[in-house]
Amino acid sequence: MCRWLAYSGSPVSIETLLFKPEHSLIDQSLHSKLGAETTNGDGFGIGWYGAAATPGVYRSTEPAWNDRNLRDLSAHIESPLVFAHIRAAIGSVVQATNCHPFRHERWLFMHNGFIGEFEKVKRDLVLAVDPSLYPSIEGSSDTEVLFHLALTFGLEDDPPAAVATAVGLVEQIGEKHGVEHPIQMTVATTNGESVWAFRYSSQRDSRSLFYSTDLPTLRALHPEVEILNLLSQESRLIVSEPVRDLAGAWNEVPESSYGVVQEGQDELRPFTPKAPAMAVPAGV
């Protein structure tokens, strides 16, 4: 599928996150260990928060390992909140509008996994997107539709509830069409302040997802790793697969759970899809 990384914490150069670690995301674009595919070469994207009102997004259809602009931009852009995604396309065409992260105003959204038999359920799902949001769908990927469903169901107000409803709808419509496994996902979304990360699949056998151990513990475990001393106490990474082999550094997000990285105490909670109360649109 894909690999992704979400970082929140002290401002760092994107290069530090993307290129410098041993088994970095860029390395994973050629040699993923835990992914469904070892190669994630069907485009990539980064999103970050800075001075402007909305987050910056840079997406390209080239393999991430190739892109010279990515290398340069990564060295020059610092940010306290970064999303990065490398894509292994399954079905939908390789074009920038299918690359993650997707953006809506202050929000970013990215995904590893798929909506099962998307061509069967796409129309019904798109019909459930709020008509005012519909025109901003530009590509043809399942994730962009999932994002717009989450926005439709209130992502900006209550992200866990909105994602639960969106996923519930995907399962409901999938079942209606006889799709065996309607959804497989790890998803991250952010408003520039908090980050929500979800791990779920209809078959309860979800793609891997890890979060980094809290900084004070990590520093105590690895006093020799310099970068740990440069980051603030609240800095946190969430990743599809570990980017550096550091004992005690990585904790698996449990099956059917979500985490919140936020000011104050981070949280880890169970995730249960919940089909929307609203009637499915007429004619579906």
Pair 86, 31: CB distance under 8 Å: no
The residue from 6, 73, 169, 238 that contacts its own copies (CB under 8 A) is: 73
State the Cα–Cα distance between residues 176 and 241, nearest whole angstrom: 33
Neighbours of 232 (CB within 10 A): 12
At its nearest, how many Å lie between its own copies and the CB of residue 220?
30
Contact call for residue 119 and its own copies (CB under 8 A): yes
- The smaller minimum CB distance to its own copies, of residues 65 and 211, is found at 65
Output b/e per residue, 123-157; b: 16+ Cβ within 10 A: ebbeebbeeeeeeebebebbbbbbbbbbbbbebee
* 122 is an interface residue for its own copies by CB under 8 A: yes
234 binds its own copies (CB under 8 A): no
Within 13 Å of residue 183, how many CA atoms lie on the same side as its CB? 30
Binding of its own copies by 177 (CB under 8 A): no
AA identity, residue 46: I
**Is residue 278 near its own copies by the rule CB under 8 A?**
no
- Both tokens of 73, joined, read 């931009």
Total residues at interface with its own copies (CB under 8 A): 51
Between 35 and 159, whose beta carbon lies closer to its own copies?
35
Candidates 19, 90, 140, 251; binder of its own copies (CB under 8 A) is 140
Please give the Cα distance from 32 to 25 (Å, whole number): 9
Q: Give residues in contact with its own copies (CB under 8 A).
A: 13, 30, 38-39, 41-42, 48, 50-52, 56-63, 66, 68-69, 72-73, 75-78, 89, 92-97, 118-120, 122-123, 126-127, 131, 134-135, 137-140, 281-283
